[in-house]
Amino acid sequence: MKMDPNATYIFIGDVHGQAPTLRALLQKLGWKKRQGRLKPRNDEHLVFVGDLIDRGSHNLETVEIVRELVEQGDATCLMGNHEFNAVHFHTEHPSGSGQYLRDRSTDNLRQHGNVLDELTRRPGFLPDMLAWFKTLPVAIEGPGWRCVHACWHDESLNALTQIDNRWYLPADAWVAAATKDTAEYRACENLMKGPEYKLPDGSFFLDKEGVKRHHARIRWWSPQPDTLEEALLFQTPPEGLDTSRPYDNPAHPTYPAVAPPVFFGHYWNWGEPTPESHNAVCLDYSAGRGKHLVAYRLPTDSAVASEHYVQQAVVANPAA
Ligand SMILES: [Mn+2]
Per-position pLDDT tens, the chain of length 320: 567 777 899 999 999 999 999 999 999 999 999 988 999 888 899 999 999 999 999 999 999 999 999 999 999 999 999 999 999 999 999 988 999 999 988 888 888 888 999 999 999 999 999 999 999 999 999 999 999 999 999 999 999 999 999 999 999 999 999 999 999 999 999 999 999 999 998 889 888 778 889 999 999 999 889 999 999 998 778 888 899 999 999 999 989 999 999 999 999 999 999 999 999 999 999 999 999 999 999 976 667 788 899 999 999 765 44
Give the model's pLDDT for residue 300.
66
The answer as to whether 214 is a domain residue is: yes
CATH of the domain at 28: 3.60.21.10
117 and 245 together in one domain: no
Q: Which contiguous run of DSSP H or E holds residue 137?
A: none
Cα 42 to ligand 1 centre (Å) = 30
Q: What is the pTM of this model?
A: 0.94
- Residue 301: the pLDDT is 62
The H or E element that residue 202 is part of is none
CA distance 159 to 121: 37
The verdict on 232 and 264 lying in the same domain is no
Ligand 1 geometric centre to CA of 49 (Å) = 9
240 and 120 in a common domain: no
Same-domain pairing of 22 and 74: yes
Over the stretch 216-257, which tens digit does the pLDDT of each residue have?
Answer: 999 999 988 999 999 999 877 888 889 999 999 999 998 999
Q: What are phi and psi of 233, to 5 degrees?
A: -110, 125
Same domain, 208 and 111: no
Looking at the domain assignment, is residue 2 inside a domain? no
Gap from CA of 192 to ligand 1 centroid (Å): 7
Q: What is the pLDDT of residue 52?
A: 98
Q: Same domain for 122 and 241?
A: no
pLDDT given for residue 69 in this prediction: 97
Whole-number Å distance, alpha carbon 242 to ligand 1 midpoint, is 28
- 158 shares its domain with 238: no
Is-contact 219 200, C-beta < 8 A? no
Q: What pLDDT score does 320 carry?
A: 43
Q: Which residue range forms the structural domain that includes residue 92? A: 8-180+256-313
Same domain for 230 and 294, yes or no, is: no
Residue 250 Cα, ligand 1 centroid: separation in angstroms? 25
Q: 262 with 289, same domain?
A: yes
Q: Say if residue 238 is preceded by a cis peptide, omega within 30 of 0.
A: no
225 C-alpha to ligand 1 centroid (Å): 23
The number of distinct structural domains making up the chain is 2
What spacing in Å lies between the alpha carbon of 148 and ligand 1's midpoint?
10
Q: Is residue 191 included in any domain, yes or no? A: no
Residue 157 lies in a domain: yes
Same domain flag for 53 and 174: yes
How far is residue 92's CA from residue 279's CA, in Å, rounded to a whole number? Answer: 40
Q: If DSSP codes are grouped into helix, strand and coil, which group holds residue 266?
A: coil
CA 150 to ligand 1 center in whole angstroms:
7
Residues 155, 228, single domain; the answer is no
Neighbours of 299 (CB within 10 A): 8
Is residue 246 one of the residues assigned to a domain? yes
